[in-house]
């Protein structure tokens, strides 16, 4: 190898290193942006839900109807933009639960209707039903933990809502949702055992 070849090789390695660093910084920046967007969605939905429930004065009866409207609005927004349903589902679900918690709403029934609405909405627009179910369940469980709700009951209701909505879609949707949710109910092993069937040994 000549001196000139060594210089070219060193310059190429440095350029590759710079390219890698540029990509790394870009990805970090994008991920920070996604986290900020998700936090904004949670805050928007939380405030909208809690303010609307306070305004009606009937938390229990209006919460389920309001939840359906919020989920429908989020799905329509992602349709208009053309993307983001799977990404925003967790934040919307989390915001609904936190907003309902702010006014003393029944988190268990609201969790079920939130996830059910998300799965139905995903099917209506041709999105990945199983992934939307997972993100919605993740969101309601995360919110229940943060507001010190009954995480086990909320998770059980969320999974039930996902499975009921999937059943209305068809057998393949039920299978996809079951497969996706078997691994999602972290830290609540009893729920996974009582709500979802175990995979049979081959």
What is the spatial distance between Cα 66 and Cα 53, in angstroms, rounded to a whole number?
8
Q: What is the rounded (10 degree) CA torsion for 164, 165, 168, 171?
A: -80
Can you tell me whether residue 65 is helix, strand or coil? helix
Give per-residue pLDDT as tens, 127-162. 889 999 999 999 999 999 999 989 889 998 999 999
User: In sequence order, what DSSP letters do the residues of 71-129 get, joined into one string?
Assistant: HHHHHHHHHHHT--HHHHHHHHHHHHHHHHHHTT--HHHHHHHHHHHHHHHHHHTT--H
What's the predicted TM-score (pTM) here?
0.76
Q: Using CA atoms, how far apart are residues 119 and 166, in angstroms rounded to an integer?
A: 7
pLDDT (tens digit, 9 = 90+) per residue, 67-126?
A: 778 887 887 887 777 777 777 889 999 999 999 899 888 899 999 989 998 898 888 888
């Amino acid at each position: 190898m000549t001196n000139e070849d060594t210089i070219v090789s060193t310059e190429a390695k440095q350029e590759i290193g710079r390219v890698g660093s540029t990509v790394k910084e870009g990805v970090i920046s994008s991920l920070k942006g996604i986290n900020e967007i998700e936090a904004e969605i949670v805050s928007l939905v939380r405030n909208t839900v809690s303010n609307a429930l306070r305004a009606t004065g009937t938390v229990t009866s209006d919460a389920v109807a309001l939840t359906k409207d919020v989920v429908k609005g989020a799905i329509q927004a992602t349709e208009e933009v053309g993307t983001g349903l799977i990404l925003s589902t967790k934040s919307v679900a989390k915001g609904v639960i936190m907003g309902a918690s702010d006014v003393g709403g029944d988190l268990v029934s609201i969790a079920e209707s939130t996830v059910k609405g998300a799965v139905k909405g995903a099917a209506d627009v041709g999105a990945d039903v199983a992934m939307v179910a997972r993100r919605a369940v993740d969101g309601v469980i995360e919110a229940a933990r943060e507001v010190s709700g009954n995480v086990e009951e909320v998770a059980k209701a969320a999974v039930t809502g996902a499975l009921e909505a999937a059943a209305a879609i068809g057998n393949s949707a039920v299978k996809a949702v079951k497969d996706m949710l078997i691994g999602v109910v972290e830290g609540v092993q009893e729920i996974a055992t009582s709500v979802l069937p175990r995979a049979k040994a081959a």
